[in-house]
Structure 1
Amino acid sequence: MESIFHEKQEGSLCAQHCLNNLLQGEYFSPVELSSIAQQLDEEERMRMAEGGVQTEEYRTFLQQPSGNMDDSGFFSIQVISNALGVWGLEIVLFNSREYQQLQMDPMHEKAFICNYKEHWFTVRKLGQQWFNLNSLLTGPELISDTYLALFLAQLQQEGYSIFVIRGNLPECEADQILRIMRVEQQQRPKLIGEEEAQRMSAPHASETTHTAEEPVLDEDEEELRKALALSRQDLQVEDEEADLRRAIQMSMQGSSDAGSSAPAGGSSEKQTLSAEELRRRRQAYFDRQQNAQDSSSSTGGGTDSGPKPTQ
């Protein structure tokens, strides 16, 4: 598993992580994806200008924000498609009636990219085994052959758009190694922040006092961790993390009750977060973690913790 490239979530750069996890390397940066998005924006502007630069439609178009990227790091399917085109790869909508009529076996494909509420992630075959390379996980998750179709079906039921990757993916070390050996996974990777969420949901969490080693959480970070805790208890929270967790559980090998867990007793609080609000809080959460690491390094004389997430 150590040979598998797995880029973890930074801010809202899931499109970058999705592409790099698919290609198994640091092939794209936010700057490069922004350049593709700006080129698409300019092409759209030129097409609109053909109808006249003095028209109301053209002036309205110029006032609208880009549909290909935003300040948080989100990139559209058009950007992803153009980025993959550099490698001679194409995407086909798995959910489409035309593709379903072909009655293709998902096992015969090479990779999928999935999107829901502006979150992108990759499912790819390496050697003879399938892996969920979601950047929200702490590491790659093995998906058994038996559960691949069920996993994709659950994603569709949850409202995901799934795209099949067609073409020759670049050679990578993980694929070469896994062609001659198979791996087993005793414990599935956790969602980023899951352990903190479990501690927050513990019965004694409200009675725990903060020590010098445990910084007091501000309001945004506190609410984000509560939302993650609720998503682990299968409450009907309308956010991408909860939907993703239910789909992730379907890939657990040998699990007959994937996608469900017992609600925590004694909790009457319910939260409904929009995708934009959760995305904002999640990005703030990652930014604060990075700032805390930088502050610790500068005051404690430690080594540099690495670059900050690019926005």
Structure 2
Amino acid sequence: MALIMQEGSLCAQHCLNNLLQGEYFTPVDLSSIAQQLDEEERIRMAEGGVLSEEYRTFLQQPSGNMDDSGFFSIQVISNALGVWGLELILFNSREYQRLMIDPVNERAFICNYKEHWFTVRKLGQQWFNLNSLLTGPELISDTYLALFLAQLQQEGYSIFVIRGNLPECEADQILEIMRVEQQHRPKLIGEDEAQTSSGQRTSGQHALETRHGLEESVMDEDEEELRKALALSRQDMEVEDEEADLRRAIQLSMQGASGSSSLIGTKEVGATMTPGSSGSTTGGVAQSTPSESLTAEELRRRRQAYFDRQSQQQAQPTSSQDTKVAGEEQDTGSKHSQ
């Protein structure tokens, strides 16, 4: 079974070839028929006088039988079918309706709406919609045919009954001895692509939204984990800084104790260490030996005391010698007070 697919706006050509089941007409053939009809109309108009207003107006108007898009009029189609001894009868005309013929008993119909033409034809014992805009022939049951034609009329289609003997075709011969079954209705040309594109946009948006939501969830979890890691890291850094400061302070105090009995080294660690004493306090600062284990709170106190002493030394305008003398005087005063 041949179904000529739509190419451009040559639906009239496809309609005729689907009806006849072969490549019987080309656009050039139909254009020749249209030009012949135009010439016949021009001759009739000229009979009223070539200088008449009607004739000049006719010459200025475009052809009513064809246009540049490939459209051909019902007159062109009728003349083309006349070559094969076929004629058109308007389906809803009073003359045809008075005959009260069941559509199932006809052989073919041509349908037209605005500038689109297509064929409905019986092949063998079955009816098929041979619309060139479909991806394939559409099977129409006998019980549905009348309803199908009525629906087309409601949509504004003009329907013409084909009368005469259609040329023999292979599809008609094959379907005379067998019947076909159609599981799925053929779609309009481009319908699959449009649905696929639409489906992809919808799933893409859904996937995008889902992915975006997942990304936000992951980002929230990652940010929470990052905050926890940073907090732990800061705690570790604080402990490491405190331990490092304590080690430096202890190292300085040990150097001061081994180098001399001067109190400068002890002042640098923020505590006065009395030889032979352990665990005593002087000036409100807890004393401990280097080997003594310290808690985090003690580390923080030592660190704070160390930086306080450093800040005081940088703020004093006197020289290091004046600082040493002042320290010795302070130490002497402390001994007298004791």
| Structure-1-length-normalised TM-score | 0.64
Question: In structure 2, what is the equivalent of residue 58 of structure 1?
Answer: 55
Pairing partner for 1:156 from 133, 153, 157: 153
- Within 5 Å, give how 1:258-297 maps onto structure 2: none
- Within 5 Å, give how 1:173-252 maps onto structure 2: 173-202=170-199, 204-205=201-202, 207=204
Q: Is the 8 A contact 1:132 1:142 kept in 2?
A: yes
1:206–1:48 Cα change, 3 Å: farther
Alpha-carbon distance in 2 for matches of 1:63, 1:70 = 14
Question: In structure 1, what is the equivalent of residue 24 of structure 2?
Answer: 27
**Is 1:118 aligned to 2:119, yes or no?**
no
Pairing partner for 2:9 from 9, 12, 23: 12
Pairing partner for 2:96 from 99, 108, 116: 99
Pairing partner for 1:129 from 104, 107, 126: 126
Instruction: Give secondary structure in 2 for the equivalent of 1:131.
Output: strand
Alpha-carbon distance in 2 for matches of 1:81, 1:24 = 17
Instruction: Give secondary structure in 2 for the equivalent of 1:179.
Output: helix
Question: In structure 2, what is the equivalent of residue 145 of structure 1?
Answer: 142
| Residue deviations 1:70-115 (CA, integer Å, cap 9, x gap) | 0000000000000000000000000212211211100110000000
Q: CA deviation at 1:204?
A: 2.8
| Residue deviations 1:23-60 (CA, integer Å, cap 9, x gap) | 00000000000000000000000000000000000000
Alpha-carbon distance in 1 for matches of 2:21, 2:116 = 19
Moved over 2 A (4+): 199-208
Q: CA deviation at 1:207?
A: 4.9
Alpha-carbon distance in 1 for matches of 2:74, 2:201 = 44
Letter in 1 for 2:137: P
Pairing partner for 2:163 from 163, 166, 177: 166
1:44–1:206 Cα change, 3 Å: farther
Question: In structure 1, what is the equivalent of residue 288 of structure 2?
Answer: none
Instruction: Give secondary structure in 1 for the equivalent of 2:37.
Output: helix
**Is 1:41 aligned to 2:38, yes or no?**
yes
Letter in 1 for 2:199: A
Q: Is the 8 A contact 1:110 1:165 kept in 2?
A: yes
Alpha-carbon distance in 1 for matches of 2:92, 2:32 = 29
Question: In structure 2, what is the equivalent of residue 211 of structure 1?
Answer: none
Alpha-carbon distance in 2 for matches of 1:87, 1:203 = 49
Structure with greater Cα Rg:
2
Alpha-carbon distance in 1 for matches of 2:139, 2:84 = 26
Q: CA deviation at 1:199?
A: 2.6
Letter in 2 for 1:140: P
Identity level (%): 86
Higher helix share: 2
Q: What stretches of structure 2 of length at least 5 have no aligned partner?
A: 206-338
Question: In structure 2, what is the equivalent of residue 224 of structure 1?
Answer: none
Question: In structure 1, what is the equivalent of residue 295 of structure 2?
Answer: none
- Within 5 Å, give how 1:73-88 maps onto structure 2: 73-88=70-85
Alpha-carbon distance in 1 for matches of 2:172, 2:196 = 37
Alpha-carbon distance in 1 for matches of 2:30, 2:20 = 15
Alpha-carbon distance in 2 for matches of 1:50, 1:118 = 31
| Structure-2-length-normalised TM-score | 0.59
Q: Is the 8 A contact 1:199 1:205 kept in 2?
A: no
**Higher RCO (C-alpha under 8 Å, 6+ residues apart):** 1
Alpha-carbon distance in 1 for matches of 2:145, 2:111 = 14
Q: What stretches of structure 1 of length at least 5 have no aligned partner?
A: 209-311
Letter in 2 for 1:103: M
Alpha-carbon distance in 2 for matches of 1:184, 1:96 = 34
Pairing partner for 2:65 from 64, 68, 89: 68
Letter in 2 for 1:99: Y
Instruction: Give secondary structure in 1 for the equivalent of 2:177.
Output: coil
Alpha-carbon distance in 1 for matches of 2:84, 2:138 = 25
Q: Is the 8 A contact 1:13 1:30 kept in 2?
A: yes
